[in-house]
Amino acid sequence: MEHIDNQSVAQILTDEFGGGILNVYEPDGILTLELTKETVFPLIKFIKEHEIKIDFLTDICGIHYPDRKGGEIGVIYHLHSFINNFRIRLKTFLPIEIPEIESLTPLYAGADWMERETFDFFGIIFKGHPNLKRILNMDEMDYHPLLKQYHLEDATRKDKNDAMFGR
Protein backbone atom coordinates (compact mmCIF):
# COMPACT_ATOMS: atom_id res chain seq x y z
CA MET A 1 0.00 0.00 0.00
CA GLU A 2 1.49 3.31 -1.04
CA HIS A 3 -0.20 5.68 1.38
CA ILE A 4 -2.14 4.79 4.49
CA ASP A 5 -4.53 7.40 5.82
CA ASN A 6 -7.94 7.42 7.46
CA GLN A 7 -9.86 7.64 4.20
CA SER A 8 -8.01 4.82 2.43
CA VAL A 9 -8.28 2.48 5.43
CA ALA A 10 -11.96 3.34 5.93
CA GLN A 11 -12.62 2.53 2.27
CA ILE A 12 -10.75 -0.79 2.41
CA LEU A 13 -12.63 -1.83 5.55
CA THR A 14 -16.01 -0.68 4.25
CA ASP A 15 -15.44 -2.64 1.04
CA GLU A 16 -14.46 -5.75 3.01
CA PHE A 17 -16.91 -5.64 5.93
CA GLY A 18 -19.82 -3.52 4.64
CA GLY A 19 -22.83 -3.97 6.93
CA GLY A 20 -20.67 -4.92 9.92
CA ILE A 21 -19.49 -1.31 10.10
CA LEU A 22 -22.22 0.81 11.69
CA ASN A 23 -20.49 4.20 11.81
CA VAL A 24 -17.21 5.82 10.73
CA TYR A 25 -15.87 9.09 12.13
CA GLU A 26 -12.57 10.77 13.08
CA PRO A 27 -12.52 12.36 16.55
CA ASP A 28 -9.16 14.02 17.15
CA GLY A 29 -7.98 12.69 13.76
CA ILE A 30 -8.18 9.01 14.80
CA LEU A 31 -10.14 6.76 12.47
CA THR A 32 -12.96 5.35 14.62
CA LEU A 33 -15.34 2.61 13.54
CA GLU A 34 -18.39 1.34 15.38
CA LEU A 35 -18.89 -2.33 14.57
CA THR A 36 -21.29 -5.16 15.20
CA LYS A 37 -19.80 -7.50 17.79
CA GLU A 38 -19.55 -10.27 15.17
CA THR A 39 -17.34 -8.04 13.00
CA VAL A 40 -14.74 -7.16 15.65
CA PHE A 41 -12.55 -10.29 15.56
CA PRO A 42 -12.52 -10.81 11.76
CA LEU A 43 -11.88 -7.10 11.12
CA ILE A 44 -8.98 -6.98 13.59
CA LYS A 45 -7.54 -10.18 12.11
CA PHE A 46 -7.86 -8.59 8.65
CA ILE A 47 -6.08 -5.33 9.57
CA LYS A 48 -3.31 -7.29 11.28
CA GLU A 49 -2.65 -9.47 8.21
CA HIS A 50 -3.38 -6.86 5.51
CA GLU A 51 -0.83 -4.28 4.31
CA ILE A 52 -2.27 -1.94 6.92
CA LYS A 53 -0.19 -4.07 9.35
CA ILE A 54 -1.86 -3.24 12.65
CA ASP A 55 0.83 -4.94 14.71
CA PHE A 56 0.14 -3.58 18.20
CA LEU A 57 -2.91 -3.74 20.44
CA THR A 58 -2.57 -0.59 22.54
CA ASP A 59 -5.62 -0.96 24.77
CA ILE A 60 -8.96 -2.62 25.39
CA CYS A 61 -11.39 -0.92 27.73
CA GLY A 62 -15.03 -0.97 28.66
CA ILE A 63 -17.64 1.74 28.98
CA HIS A 64 -21.13 1.76 30.43
CA TYR A 65 -24.03 3.76 28.98
CA PRO A 66 -27.01 2.66 31.11
CA ASP A 67 -29.52 4.61 28.98
CA ARG A 68 -28.43 3.07 25.66
CA LYS A 69 -31.03 0.29 25.42
CA GLY A 70 -29.66 -2.93 23.92
CA GLY A 71 -26.10 -1.58 23.84
CA GLU A 72 -25.40 -0.51 27.39
CA ILE A 73 -21.92 -2.02 27.55
CA GLY A 74 -19.22 -0.88 25.14
CA VAL A 75 -15.85 -2.41 24.32
CA ILE A 76 -13.28 -0.05 22.85
CA TYR A 77 -10.10 -1.20 21.10
CA HIS A 78 -7.13 1.03 20.28
CA LEU A 79 -4.67 -0.44 17.79
CA HIS A 80 -1.50 0.84 16.13
CA SER A 81 0.67 0.06 13.14
CA PHE A 82 4.27 0.89 13.97
CA ILE A 83 5.32 0.10 10.41
CA ASN A 84 2.84 2.55 8.88
CA ASN A 85 2.50 4.93 11.85
CA PHE A 86 -1.26 4.55 11.79
CA ARG A 87 -3.77 4.36 14.65
CA ILE A 88 -7.35 3.11 14.67
CA ARG A 89 -10.09 2.93 17.31
CA LEU A 90 -12.84 0.31 17.16
CA LYS A 91 -16.03 0.28 19.25
CA THR A 92 -18.81 -2.19 19.72
CA PHE A 93 -21.80 -2.20 22.03
CA LEU A 94 -23.35 -5.16 23.81
CA PRO A 95 -26.59 -5.68 25.72
CA ILE A 96 -26.02 -5.64 29.47
CA GLU A 97 -27.90 -8.94 29.79
CA ILE A 98 -25.37 -10.73 27.54
CA PRO A 99 -22.09 -8.77 27.54
CA GLU A 100 -20.12 -11.31 25.50
CA ILE A 101 -17.59 -10.88 22.71
CA GLU A 102 -14.84 -13.01 21.18
CA SER A 103 -11.41 -12.82 22.82
CA LEU A 104 -8.50 -11.32 20.90
CA THR A 105 -5.97 -13.53 22.69
CA PRO A 106 -5.44 -15.70 19.56
CA LEU A 107 -4.31 -12.54 17.71
CA TYR A 108 -2.49 -10.56 20.41
CA ALA A 109 -0.96 -12.12 23.53
CA GLY A 110 -1.26 -8.73 25.24
CA ALA A 111 -5.05 -8.99 25.08
CA ASP A 112 -4.87 -11.46 27.98
CA TRP A 113 -4.31 -8.84 30.69
CA MET A 114 -6.50 -6.17 29.05
CA GLU A 115 -9.48 -8.50 28.70
CA ARG A 116 -9.13 -9.70 32.29
CA GLU A 117 -9.08 -6.10 33.52
CA THR A 118 -12.12 -5.19 31.41
CA PHE A 119 -13.95 -8.27 32.70
CA ASP A 120 -12.98 -7.40 36.26
CA PHE A 121 -14.31 -3.85 36.13
CA PHE A 122 -17.24 -4.14 33.66
CA GLY A 123 -18.24 -7.83 33.60
CA ILE A 124 -17.62 -8.23 29.87
CA ILE A 125 -17.17 -11.90 28.95
CA PHE A 126 -14.40 -12.51 26.38
CA LYS A 127 -15.33 -15.87 24.88
CA GLY A 128 -12.33 -18.11 24.29
CA HIS A 129 -10.10 -16.27 26.76
CA PRO A 130 -7.71 -18.84 28.33
CA ASN A 131 -8.01 -17.57 31.93
CA LEU A 132 -10.82 -15.05 32.32
CA LYS A 133 -10.85 -14.21 36.03
CA ARG A 134 -10.38 -11.12 38.16
CA ILE A 135 -6.97 -9.52 37.94
CA LEU A 136 -7.09 -6.39 40.14
CA ASN A 137 -10.09 -6.77 42.42
CA MET A 138 -10.64 -9.45 45.04
CA ASP A 139 -11.99 -12.77 43.78
CA GLU A 140 -14.78 -12.51 46.38
CA MET A 141 -16.30 -9.41 44.75
CA ASP A 142 -19.75 -10.21 43.43
CA TYR A 143 -20.07 -7.10 41.25
CA HIS A 144 -18.14 -5.16 38.62
CA PRO A 145 -17.28 -1.78 40.17
CA LEU A 146 -17.13 0.47 37.09
CA LEU A 147 -20.74 -0.14 36.15
CA LYS A 148 -22.50 3.12 36.86
CA GLN A 149 -24.99 1.70 39.34
CA TYR A 150 -22.12 1.46 41.85
CA HIS A 151 -20.74 4.48 43.71
CA LEU A 152 -17.12 5.44 43.06
CA GLU A 153 -16.37 5.73 46.76
CA ASP A 154 -17.02 3.27 49.55
CA ALA A 155 -19.15 5.24 52.03
CA THR A 156 -18.42 2.69 54.76
CA ARG A 157 -14.70 3.52 54.92
CA LYS A 158 -13.59 5.34 58.07
CA ASP A 159 -9.94 5.77 57.06
CA LYS A 160 -10.57 8.58 54.58
CA ASN A 161 -10.87 12.25 55.33
CA ASP A 162 -12.47 14.01 52.35
CA ALA A 163 -10.97 17.35 53.48
CA MET A 164 -7.57 15.93 52.51
CA PHE A 165 -8.79 15.54 48.94
CA GLY A 166 -10.18 19.08 48.59
CA ARG A 167 -13.78 18.03 49.21
Residue 128 φ/ψ, nearest 5 degrees: 90, -5
pLDDT at 162: 63
Q: Report pLDDT for 68.
A: 96
Residue 38 belongs to a domain: yes
Asked if 111 and 103 count as a contact pair (C-beta separation under 8 A), the reply is yes
* Per-residue CA distances from 79 to 29, 60, 84 (Å): 14, 9, 12
163 belongs to a structural domain: no
What is the per-residue pLDDT for 101?
98
112 assigned to some structural domain: yes
Q: Is residue 156 part of a domain?
A: no
In a domain, 164, yes or no: no
Domain membership of residue 106 as a residue range? 6-151
Q: Please state, in angstroms and rounded to a whole number, the distance separating the CA atoms of residues 63 and 74.
A: 5
How much is the pLDDT for 150?
Answer: 81
Length, in residues, of the chain: 167
For the chain, 167 residues long, give each residue's pLDDT as a single digit of tens.
567 999 999 999 999 999 999 999 999 999 999 999 999 999 999 999 999 999 999 999 999 999 999 999 999 999 999 999 999 999 999 999 999 999 999 999 999 999 999 999 999 999 999 999 999 999 999 999 999 988 776 666 667 666 665 55
How many Cβ atoms sit within 10 Å of the Cβ of residue 144? 21
User: Is 13 domain-assigned?
Assistant: yes
Under a CB-based contact definition with an 8 Å cutoff, are residues 42 and 35 in contact? no
How many folded domains does the chain comprise?
A: 1
CB atoms within 10 A of CB 13: 24
What is the reported pLDDT for 161?
A: 66
**What is the pLDDT, as a whole number, of residue 155?**
66
Provide the whole-model pTM.
0.90
* Whether the Cβ atoms of residue 83 and residue 56 lie closer than 8 Å to each other: no
The distance in angstroms from the start CA to the end CA of the chain is: 54
Q: What pLDDT sits at residue 163? A: 67
In a domain? residue 157: no
Q: Is residue 165 a part of any domain in this protein?
A: no
- The upper half-sphere exposure of residue 20, i.e. CA atoms within 13 Å in the direction of its Cβ, equals 15
Distances in Å between the Cα of 14 and the Cα atoms of 18, 20, 37, 39 are 5, 8, 16, 12
pLDDT at 71: 97
CATH number of the domain that residue 130 is part of: 3.30.460.80
